[in-house]
């Protein structure tokens, strides 16, 4: 297996599926000759031509609306939105059209499309390029929401998303694009949606984290190890569908849970994880479920390092569960 960055794994998945299925097309702003704002589609147009990888007008509503029509017609569209922060003009197309297609047609039509978009902070992009609004989409029945944290998962989950019969929001942690490297299987590699993974085994506390927060949680676990505390880390990989049982199994073993996410604390998806644990594993808890998250403010440019959860804040959250 070759060592790849997360962004390279995304490109690998796109190439694999475009070679595997000629119905797969890629489009969005600057994805063609330029190869995307982060380079995820570099070389795609050269290999597959401008009928299968092409630039669009600067209209997110138009991009997603076109993808919905293509999907219903039998094409497998992969629409790129440059930043998750830019997706809101397309919100109605996503939640009212793509997400509702199977239900409103009584199963006669499906909407097999993928919306790829970078999310989250960590690149000093300010409040228009750093938001984590995954909870908006998790709240919408009919959508699947996937967030990889490793290169191998980025490839395997993206391939599964492209092959899925329902619309998938594929959110890529831009902070991890080139900072996270790992072995990625060559050729066919599929990671099923709805199956989380145990990142690190432990016995004293469960930390649930996804996306760019997984490496932060790993460093916090190493710090807690120095204090004699064994931390188990669970990465859900897909938020919808969610592998509830994996999370609950871990919490029932450790008796404690810390939910880490970089979105604003109130109503973030990590709050849903905390609620599931409190509802279904309360008899096993030895301390409160703690959320370590962003703040309920616009994402700050100059204070980005204070807004995003770091090792210090995750360690403090873990310690809170023990000191209760």
Catalogue all structural domains in the chain, each as residue range(s) with its CATH number.
2-184 (3.40.50.970), 197-323 (3.40.50.920)
Distance CA 171, CA 104 (A): 26
Name the nearest CA neighbour of 242 among 135, 115, 103, 112. Answer: 135
In contact, 208 and 199? CB cutoff 8 Å? no
pLDDT of residue 125: 87
The per-residue pLDDT string of the chain (324 residues; one tens digit each, 9 = 90 and over) reads 789 999 999 999 999 999 999 999 999 999 999 999 999 999 999 999 999 999 999 999 999 999 999 999 999 999 999 999 999 999 999 999 999 999 999 999 999 999 999 999 998 888 899 999 999 999 999 999 999 999 999 999 999 999 999 999 999 999 999 999 999 999 999 999 999 999 999 999 999 999 999 999 999 999 999 999 999 999 999 999 999 999 999 999 999 999 999 999 999 999 999 999 999 999 999 999 999 999 999 999 989 999 999 999 999 999 999 998
In contact, 77 and 62? CB cutoff 8 Å? no
pLDDT of residue 212: 98
pTM for the structure as a whole: 0.97
Residue 6's contacts (CB-CB under 8 Å, 6 or more residues apart) are 148, 150, 151, 154, 172, 173, 176, 177, 178, 180, 181
The CA-based dihedral angle spanning residues 70, 76, 82, 85, taken in that order and rounded to the nearest 10 degrees: 80
Cα 98–chain centre separation: 19
Residue 139: active-site member: no
Distance CA 33, CA 259 (A): 41
Strand partners, 259: 208, 291
pLDDT of residue 2: 85
Query: Residue 298 is encoded by which pair of tokens?
Result: 């616009």
Helices (H), the chain: 6-20, 44-48, 60-73, 91-92, 101-104, 134-138, 151-163, 213-225, 244-254, 269-280, 304-307, 311-323
Coil, strand or helix at 260 = strand
Catalytic residue from among 16, 129, 139, 189? 129
């Amino acid at each position: 297996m070759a060592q790849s960055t997360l962004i390279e794994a995304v490109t690998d998945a796109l190439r694999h599926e475009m070679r595997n299925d000629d119905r797969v097309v890629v489009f969005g702003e600057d994805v063609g000759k330029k190869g995307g704002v982060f380079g995820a589609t570099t070389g795609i147009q050269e290999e597959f031509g401008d009928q299968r990888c092409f630039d669009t007008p600067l209209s997110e509503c138009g991009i997603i609306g076109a993808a919905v029509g293509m999907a219903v017609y039998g094409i497998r569209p992969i629409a790129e939105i440059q930043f998750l922060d830019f997706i809101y003009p397309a919100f109605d197309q996503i939640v009212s059209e793509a997400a509702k297609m199977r239900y409103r047609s009584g199963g006669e039509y499906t909407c097999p499309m993928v919306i790829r978009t970078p999310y989250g902070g960590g690149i000093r992009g300010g409040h228009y390029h750093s938001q984590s609004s995954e909870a908006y989409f998790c709240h919408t029945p009919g959508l699947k929401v996937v967030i990889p944290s490793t290169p191998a998962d980025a490839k395997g989950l993206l391939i599964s998303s492209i092959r899925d019969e329902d619309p998938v929001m594929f959110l890529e942690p831009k902070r991890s694009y080139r900072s996270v490297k790992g072995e990625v299987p060559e050729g066919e590699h599929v990671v099923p949606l709805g199956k989380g993974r145990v990142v690190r085994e432990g016995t004293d506390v469960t930390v649930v984290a996804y996306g760019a927060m997984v490496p932060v949680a790993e460093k916090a676990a190493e710090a807690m190890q120095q204090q004699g505390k064994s931390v188990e880390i669970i990465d859900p990989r897909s938020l919808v569908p969610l592998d509830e049982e994996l999370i609950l199994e871990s919490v029932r073993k450790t008796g404690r849970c810390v939910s880490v996410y970089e979105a604003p604390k109130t109503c973030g998806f990590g709050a849903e994880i905390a609620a599931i644990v409190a509802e279904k594993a309360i008899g096993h808890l030895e301390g409160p479920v703690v959320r370590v998250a962003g703040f309920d403010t616009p994402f700050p440019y100059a204070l980005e390092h204070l807004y995003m959860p770091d090792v210090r804040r995750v360690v403090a959250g873990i310690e809170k569960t023990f000191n209760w």
